[in-house]
């Protein structure tokens, strides 16, 4: 699968989109997928545990073209990535819920970070492109309780792990994509 036009050509095999809640990350990931001429597989990590989340999931499903495959996998991200054919664009939506699910399962931070490294490495080695959505939760005030602080720090570490494996990453603000640079791009060095 190749993109339909050079204007929308992905210049990477792994793109990470991060930003605040309701910033347009999932919508941009869907736009990228909509420009892909081959098959698309969405790996959804959310679970409908209450009415509000069930409605969010329903709306995501309604917006997706019926031709896109959906893999609902809240915990085993590696298995879900392996299930996506190499000619398909994989969209992982999202790491935030995935980390939350692993915390809820009782995994230690080091176990979650190891899973993140393995999944990110697998995504980077795929034959097809991958777009990953995650939240940026470290820009606000320091949370008042220990679990919220743990989650903020852990998700920040997981996001950094994924960025290390990504070809490109971008911050999404108000539906606009802001490319992020690493030091090598700033200094012009490898």
Show which residues are catalytic. 60
Q: What does the DSSP assignment read for 32-85?
A: HHHTBSS-EEEEE-----SHHHHHHHHHHHHHS-TTSEEEE-SS-HHHHHHTS-
d(CA 132, CA 77): 12
Closest CA to 18 of 148, 171, 187: 171
- Please give, one letter per residue, the 3-state secondary structure of 2-21: CECCHHHCCCCCEEEEEECC
Coil vs helix vs strand at 173: strand
Q: What are phi and psi of 133, to 5 degrees?
A: -110, 135
């Amino acid at each position: 699968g190749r993109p339909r036009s050079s204007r929308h050509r992905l210049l990477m095999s792994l793109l990470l989109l991060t930003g605040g809640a309701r910033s347009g990350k999932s919508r941009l990931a869907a736009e990228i997928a909509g420009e892909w001429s081959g098959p698309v597989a969405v790996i959804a990590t959310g679970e409908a545990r209450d009415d509000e989340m069930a409605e969010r999931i329903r709306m995501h499903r309604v917006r997706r073209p019926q031709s896109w495959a959906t893999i609902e996998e809240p915990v085993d991200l590696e298995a879900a990535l392996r299930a996506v054919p190499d000619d398909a664009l994989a969209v992982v939506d999202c790491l935030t819920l995935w980390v939350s699910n692993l915390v809820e399962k009782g995994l230690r931070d080091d176990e979650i970070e190891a899973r993140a490294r393995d999944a990110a490495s697998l995504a980077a080695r795929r034959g097809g492109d991958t777009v990953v959505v995650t939240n940026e939760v470290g820009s606000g005030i320091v949370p008042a309780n220990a679990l919220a602080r743990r989650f903020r720090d852990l998700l920040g570490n997981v996001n950094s792990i994924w960025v290390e494996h990504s070809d490109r990453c971008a911050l999404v603000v108000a539906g606009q994509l802001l490319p992020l640079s690493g030091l090598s791009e700033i200094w012009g060095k490898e």
